[in-house]
Structure 1
Amino acid sequence: MDDQPKQKVKIPCNHMLDYIQLKSGGWPGSFDYDVNTCAGCHEDYGYCYWCPSCSFRAHSECIEWPDTIDHPCHSRHPLKKVSPGTIDYTDGKCHFCREKLIDPMYHCSLCNFSIDVNCWRHPPHRTIYQPKSHDHAFTLMPRKITFTCNACGMVGDTNPYFCSECGFMLHKDCIDLPRVININRHDHRISRTYHLGHGVWDLCGVCRKEIDWSFGAFTCKRCPHYVVHPKCATRKDVWDGKELEDEPEEEEEIEDPYKVINDREIIHFSHEHNLRLGDDNVTDYEKVRCDACIFPIKSDIFFKCVHCEFFLHKVCASLPRRKRSIMHTDKLNLRVKDKAAGKYFKCTSCAKLFDGFRYKTTFNKFDVWCGSISEPFHHILHPHPLYHIFSPKGSYNTCGACDKPTQYVLSCTVCEFTLGMDCATLPNKVKHACDSHDLSLHRGVHENSKGQLWCDICEKKMNGSLWFYGCDDCGSTLHTKCVFGDMYYLKPGKRYGEAELVANDGMSRPFCIMCGKRCRFPSFLKATSPDSTVVFACSMDCAYDSLWKERPHLVEKWFYEVNH
């Protein structure tokens, strides 16, 4: 094996280089065969710098970068190639893009000026003129200063773009802010202005903090007081990335979810029969489930099909068929139950399994609870309003209610409390077979309070600082997970593959075929094995996921299969 260092190559041109993935295409002899290999090591893996004019490709580490360069934005002194670890007095970031400096980098020790290779190959424009946004041209200042950006109102410590006519200073990334956009927090388009001006303005429509009227913002032409910080409006979880300037704004025709027949009957788009308000034949409202949200009807106003067992809360019957939501930058479309038998879904934000109505985008599905959440979100167990923040993929926040990491959270701007969507959609009151009274959701007891809490369902210790259900009359306490299990949002009586979901309301509880414990959740799965033996599973986890790997000899006894 050759351990000798491979020879580095020089860039053969002065063209701008793109940073792309280095890979081969096609196969030898095919029309699209293209051997994309590094000019230095001749390998075809990873990412490389590429010149589309000269077809030059090379890994960064395979390029012989020049020892000294001149940069148009720092014309006073040449820049020398150094390694980041050899300079201990910089902030470790590129002067222009503010990304972390990696080897190689270029540096001026006299001015403490550092840039990365990408900003050398693609230097920022010296002058930018955008007449639709500003009457004058902006010029890049050749020195690093601390300033307040007139577009976003945030303090910067880099090279600003400067307007000599009016004194405006902008961050580099604020030069290219979109002019007209849609955000998922507002129903109308919003437009950018470099100077908000004095007036009566609401708090920012995204972060709910004050906006300084002497700087720029996004405003709505239809709502005279609505305003959003530029950085908030262009967040990835708020804006869909589309510039709408010069695009005609068309009024969207909103389709009603139902048509009124008379003062007691409607026709809902989700069902083929008429639905009638209320029903005198319904006696046990806890056993009757709404087909949209799958929660019990309880004492809420509801509609019932005149021909079959189809129920809708009046609130659920009024769910809009298309809406903007804080859950996604695209508009959500309301979809009804899937026609395929045994089909269920997993909510993108709260991760619950459900088979009711769903709000859908191209790649995401949200149950109606998550899809209907709006800002500010008020929860009975938290004193401050909460706002939605989506964490980038791979980044998680800890839910203050259950102490579990989650990607979708509602956050408090007053304190450091975060609430996962799973816990945010828990009902404030619920019924359970272990107690004849309503169980209330509790925030948790103080860590210095006396007495250990025990769950009346699983009979295990409870963490008193987390949320739980309790009976205010009997003093019983229960884990939230024990109250619901993982199949509460699936409707009893339906079949899922070879199994039927059965309400756990009998005189005795069956044993689970997988974990060997009695089924303690509100529902369980029931199936008949090939040898005509009736078997049960207490949860979806037991029936389908984890225990199969631990106890493979039981798989042949349990054949629950659903095409997801």
Structure 2
Amino acid sequence: MDPLKIENAANITVCRLRHDFDQKEDFRSEHFKDSPVLVLYPLDERKVLRSTHTSSSHPLVWCNNGENKDKYCKRESRCRVCSYLLDDDIGYYFLREDLGQKERIFFHKECIEPITNNPYHRKHPLQVLVSDYLKLNTICYCCCRRKELNFYCSICNFCICANCEAKPPLLTIDHKKRHEHMLSYFPREASITCNVCALDERRYFLYICHQCDFVVHKECIYSPCIIKISRHQHRLSFASSFLPRKWFCGVCRKKVDENYGGYSCVKGCYYVSHSRCALHKDVWDGKELEEEPDEIYKDILPFKEIAGGIIQHFSHKHQMRLHKYIDKKIEDNKHCQACALPVYNCDIFSCMECEFILHTVCANLSLQKEHVIHPHALFLQVGHMFSCSACQRQSNSFTYMCLMTNCNFRLDVICASTSEPLNHHFHPHLLFLPSDFGSTRICSICKVRSQTRFDCGKCDFVLCFYCATIPMKFRYKHDEHLLTFSYEQDASSEHWCDVCERKIYLKNGIYMCSECDITLHIQCLLGKEMYMLPGKEMIIYGGEEKDILRSNRLTRYICKKCNKRCQNGIVYKNSDETICCSMECLYQMFSSYIFNKRSITL
């Protein structure tokens, strides 16, 4: 008997699709009716994104002994359903070999048999559904999570993951904190508004109360009672309804229906939020605070006062004295070690033994901070090179860092000082954080697409964190006055930059001095890496140490990578005394060095 037998009933459908699995029309196909296994497996991602939904059938190949195992599968090949190794004594299916060895998928025969009489879906049998692409991962109707392995009904578009299918069914739920009566599973897909989240999501399990008019998603039954979100300073408690008035969500700023559930401030400051908005992962830290005592936030000062005007700051080993900085010369190159901005015409704390300087505002930065764009507490750290998670600028000054495991969120002190709503001086309306989480829009000033940004609630104005935190006034070494940042969205006038001698437009934002008729591009004045402090060492990937130098010589350095004169205010010196003009050139040269080193080793 031929060990390879193609069974007519064992067909596998490989779908190339552009849309997500939630698009129902893509999956109610006759191709799925006789197939025990459905595999979402885009062979060419570029074609997936360009083309519309297409499908083709590929049969499963049966192998019933171990003689041909090495021919058709690799060693330690595993069943995609149960993840166990293929046994020589047990037959298995695999995808037809025209898809190639790398794309081949294996299944035990018993693992791909359709499931009948599932308590959650008794109408039709459920087929095994396997997804090999993250964007195509399906959402389980029971746990509302994306999984790789699911059971699916193509007729009803019903999906349940393997873990939920194996658990005992929860056909009734008794949860007094959410509802006083017993809740029963509603086995039909219907557009019914949930009393907790005020949404009519079809893809979630519904539970209803037979004694009163109460409907709830399974995901919403166990939603927390007391939470703390990043968008509000007080705790929020769940309310089944609100007093009749015009309520607006503090997160998405859309109307809140007072007849459905939501979260409101426990202090009574008229702050409310939709349930889904308040429980979003970018806003809520995932902690239930019902039985937790309310934390009393204490603003811990980062320094110890020694005497009148003399302090011992936690970031510096020497004592610092408070005095008025009067000298206006930009050539002095005095920079605050916390924010990396120049120091002129402001009160500062200056070290009594070295050149360490802090603005008085920066010297009083709190050691712990809560910010609107991150759900966890942030702690002030010193001595790290980092990339700001909000504006993406490289810096080696002070940073607010999240200390949660596997969370690399960091903010420089300038971005950490922003709040919502943002009242920017050159825009007439208040600016808010985006209500559509994960979306990107193009900044109205720098024309760069950004996810972390501020949106105007009344017009199409968008402001990224980079443009929202640039200094409003900055000194130019060839002008005795401070240059002021100016921007007009509908301005058509054009100027000439005094540094690069190229055209500059007011609608793109410029620095200008009205008295001296000087105009400069933002980058020409501030530089590419204005938050990098000279005089420090930095360590890049591989443990290589680089020195940061100020480019203030009469003859500019020549970059080792691009072979051009260094135009920035700082340069980077390698261990072999070579110079790079920017972080981009530095990483390119280091990557080339690593590649050549590995090639020689091989």
Q: Same fold (TM over 0.5)?
A: yes
Aligned to 1:357: 398
Amino acid corresponding to residue 587 of structure 2 in structure 1? D
Could you say if the C-alpha distance between residues 477 and 61 of structure 1 is closer, same or farther in structure 2, counting changes exceeding 3 Å?
farther
What CA distance in whole angstroms lies between the structure 2 residues aligned with 1:198 and 1:206?
20
Amino acid corresponding to residue 476 of structure 2 in structure 1? H
Instruction: Encode CA deviations 1:373-427: one digit per residue, 9 max, x unaligned.
Output: 221223233333333359988x754333222233433333444443332222211
Amino acid corresponding to residue 399 of structure 2 in structure 1? R
What CA distance in whole angstroms lies between the structure 1 residues aligned with 2:129 and 2:83?
23
SS of residue in 2 equivalent to 1:192 = strand
SS of residue in 1 equivalent to 2:187 = coil
What CA distance in whole angstroms lies between the structure 2 residues aligned with 1:250 and 1:280?
39
- 1:151/1:195 contact within 8 Å kept: no
Aligned to 1:499: 547
1:5 is displaced (CA, Å) by: 5.9
TM value normalised by structure 2: 0.69
- 2:510/2:521 contact within 8 Å kept: yes
Could you say if the C-alpha distance between residues 65 and 189 of structure 1 is closer, same or farther in structure 2, counting changes exceeding 3 Å?
same
1:439 is displaced (CA, Å) by: 2.6
2:119 pairs with one of 55, 62, 72: 72
- Give yes or no for the alignment of 1:48 onto 2:81: yes
Aligned to 1:193: 239
Aligned to 2:216: 170
What CA distance in whole angstroms lies between the structure 1 residues aligned with 2:151 and 2:325?
78
- 1:259/1:267 contact within 8 Å kept: yes
What CA distance in whole angstroms lies between the structure 2 residues aligned with 1:495 and 1:81?
59
- Give yes or no for the alignment of 1:487 onto 2:529: yes
- Give yes or no for the alignment of 1:376 onto 2:421: yes
1:514 is displaced (CA, Å) by: 3.4
- Give yes or no for the alignment of 1:411 onto 2:458: no
What CA distance in whole angstroms lies between the structure 2 residues aligned with 1:411 and 1:47?
45
- 2:174/2:183 contact within 8 Å kept: yes
Aligned to 1:126: 171
1:322 is displaced (CA, Å) by: 0.7
- 2:504/2:521 contact within 8 Å kept: yes
Instruction: Encode CA deviations 1:268-323: one digit per residue, 9 max, x unaligned.
Output: 33334443332467553773211111111222332223333222212112211112
Aligned to 1:561: none
1:258 is displaced (CA, Å) by: 3.0
Could you say if the C-alpha distance between residues 280 and 402 of structure 1 is closer, same or farther in structure 2, counting changes exceeding 3 Å?
closer
What CA distance in whole angstroms lies between the structure 2 residues aligned with 1:411 and 1:387?
5
1:357 is displaced (CA, Å) by: 1.3
Amino acid corresponding to residue 278 of structure 1 in structure 2? H
What CA distance in whole angstroms lies between the structure 2 residues aligned with 1:414 and 1:121?
50
Structure 1 runs not aligned, ≥5 long: 10-36, 85-91, 557-564
- 1:486/1:540 contact within 8 Å kept: no
- 1:442/1:469 contact within 8 Å kept: yes
Report the structure, 1 or 2, having the larger helix content: 2
What CA distance in whole angstroms lies between the structure 1 residues aligned with 2:451 and 2:77?
35
What CA distance in whole angstroms lies between the structure 1 residues aligned with 2:80 and 2:452?
31
1:296 pairs with one of 306, 330, 342: 342
What CA distance in whole angstroms lies between the structure 2 residues aligned with 1:43 and 1:147?
48
- 1:390/1:407 contact within 8 Å kept: no
- 2:197/2:220 contact within 8 Å kept: yes
What CA distance in whole angstroms lies between the structure 2 residues aligned with 1:549 and 1:272?
36
- 1:204/1:229 contact within 8 Å kept: yes
Aligned to 2:583: 540
What CA distance in whole angstroms lies between the structure 2 residues aligned with 1:93 and 1:114?
11
Amino acid corresponding to residue 347 of structure 1 in structure 2? C
SS of residue in 1 equivalent to 2:508 = coil
What CA distance in whole angstroms lies between the structure 2 residues aligned with 1:116 and 1:396?
30
- Give yes or no for the alignment of 1:154 onto 2:196: no
1:398 pairs with one of 431, 442, 450: 442
Aligned to 2:486: 442
Instruction: Encode CA deviations 1:49-102: one digit per residue, 9 max, x unaligned.
Output: 479xxxx99979656645573343455x44576999xxxxxxx99876598999
1:428 is displaced (CA, Å) by: 1.6
1:549 is displaced (CA, Å) by: 6.1
What CA distance in whole angstroms lies between the structure 2 residues aligned with 1:104 and 1:134?
31
- 1:304/1:311 contact within 8 Å kept: yes
1:235 pairs with one of 280, 285, 288: 280
Amino acid corresponding to residue 426 of structure 2 in structure 1? L
- Give yes or no for the alignment of 1:212 onto 2:257: yes
- 2:128/2:149 contact within 8 Å kept: no
- Give yes or no for the alignment of 1:345 onto 2:392: no
What CA distance in whole angstroms lies between the structure 1 residues aligned with 2:493 and 2:366?
48
Could you say if the C-alpha distance between residues 138 and 540 of structure 1 is closer, same or farther in structure 2, counting changes exceeding 3 Å?
same
SS of residue in 2 equivalent to 1:330 = coil
In angstroms, what is the RMSD of aligned CA positions?
4.4
SS of residue in 1 equivalent to 2:358 = strand
Instruction: Encode CA deviations 1:201-259: one digit per residue, 9 max, x unaligned.
Output: 6x433233443332211223234423222111111111122223333445455422234
- 2:326/2:346 contact within 8 Å kept: no
What CA distance in whole angstroms lies between the structure 1 residues aligned with 2:230 and 2:126?
46
What CA distance in whole angstroms lies between the structure 2 residues aligned with 1:463 and 1:310?
38
SS of residue in 2 equivalent to 1:48 = coil
Aligned to 2:34: none
- 1:327/1:371 contact within 8 Å kept: no
The size of the alignment, in residue pairs, is 493
Aligned to 1:145: 190
- 2:546/2:572 contact within 8 Å kept: no
Amino acid corresponding to residue 249 of structure 2 in structure 1? C
What CA distance in whole angstroms lies between the structure 1 residues aligned with 2:81 and 2:401?
38
1:461 is displaced (CA, Å) by: 4.9
Which region of structure 1 is more displaced relative to structure 2, 271-280 or 173-182?
271-280
Aligned to 1:431: 475
1:475 is displaced (CA, Å) by: 4.6
What CA distance in whole angstroms lies between the structure 2 residues aligned with 1:164 and 1:536?
76
- Give yes or no for the alignment of 1:472 onto 2:518: no
